[in-house]
Structure 1
Amino acid sequence: MTGTSEGWIDLTGKLALVTGAAAGIGRASAMAMASAGAVTIVLDRDEHGAAQAANAIQAAGGRAIARQLDVTSEPAWHDLADWLEREWGRVDILVNCAGIARFDRVDEAMFETYREVFGVNVDGTLFGMTMALRFMRKTGQGAIVNISSTASLKGNPAMASYGASKAAVSHFTRSAALETNRAGLDIRINAVLPGFTDTAMAQAVHDRFDEKLGGHDKTLAIFSSGRAAQPEEIANLVLFLASERASFVSGSTISIDRAQGA
């Protein structure tokens, strides 16, 4: 692959894991890691989608391996760790991108959606960090990037569980970064908070609200700064945080929403 690896960021020799990598921000992040030279493990519960993403990376000249992973399953993470130990013996970069959103409200029966959303967004992120940190502590270095959301910064009467789950991701990010820093380890842990991004999740918002709000553009105006971000725009920040160019950045939660929350 050509691009970033020839310029400012070079991940040659690194092993990068990306969850939720079959589509959206996860796929774009996996492509970005590989374009910078990392061997990229493409992880998703959608086995076919993961294989397609890995094939796209390989077709562009990168190195990628697809593996099915249900991030809510602790045994599945243990199996992945065993495979990584046998095949690679290390993890240099983890991008926790797997996530879901459901429409729910606190004043309604929301516990089913709450448990589902937290299972993927929070449990999945924690399982991933715990697994990656076991490898990273051996070498004393590494980078973890968690995908949170600007929805974590304010209340949301349409997707209460989603915003709350992403707030938890941001908090666990800061806590884990303090743990590794105080242990004297060069393991950087940060969170990216995307605004409205052109993914299947955004399409679900359009499907639900366009008619109510008066059309596609009206929904965009309410949920974004006037246009949706492209997944590749979010992946650029993920790539930076995963690289040594962000060597003094840890414990940060960085919004990327074109001043929507300003």
Structure 2
Amino acid sequence: MQEYTQEQINQAESRGIEISTDVKEQLFEYANLIGEKEKVRALVRNLADAVSQADSEGVEDLLDDARMDIQELPDPTIGKLELRDYGYMEEDMVPLRKEAALDYHRMGSKIYRLGSAGSKGEYASKEMIQAHDGLFGMESQMWERIKDNNLDYAEENLGAFQEPMSVIEQEEALKLYDAGADIYLITNFSSPMYVTERMEIERGPEHYQMSMTELERFRNLEWEMQKYPQIQSLKEANLLLGTRRTFGIYQIRDD
């Protein structure tokens, strides 16, 4: 990408347009982090036009836009070019270094450990992130959703959810998830982000949230279980004693 960027600069300067050293440095930084030839070509062309017209304000506006593009990366210290140099060639991930990976993991995002041979493992726990010495990735689609702050989840789960939420720790989240509770990640999204599988909690952050009303219901169920020693689990109590319209299949025997 450095060579391609230099070629674009050379073409502009061959027309008698002198691009300053400072602007060139920012162009190379942009190219390294954004890593897209079309965007680099457009930026060089637009900057060359602004320079040729002695439009210093236009030059600064273009550079400001370029800096904004960089700041919109999930980790502004690394871009697609370094990810490719590392050995990961797929387009399904946006790259992260360890510090950013831990931050996004804490906020409920799924983080993947990337291998220098192009491999991608399962999404990682905090401990797995800390132990990995290479680069990390977040799914590109998830990053777009984060930027747009508009998660594309089923309306029946999230659309009308406005109840007050309670924060719970990971261990309790696992117990309640196994019992059939709806558990949500703690994020900065306008709508709660629904946990869809147990591993999201097992490998996720330390805290979660759920409806305050639902949490109180499950805690009441735990108290109710004391009256029925034959009920062995909170899941069973939720099925037999809970107020939800759920059904189970049982064998009835005559003793």
* TM-score, normalised relative to structure 2: 0.23
- Whose relative contact order is higher, 1 or 2, with alpha carbons under 8 Å and at least 6 apart? 1
The structure whose Rg is larger is 2
* TM-score, normalised relative to structure 1: 0.22
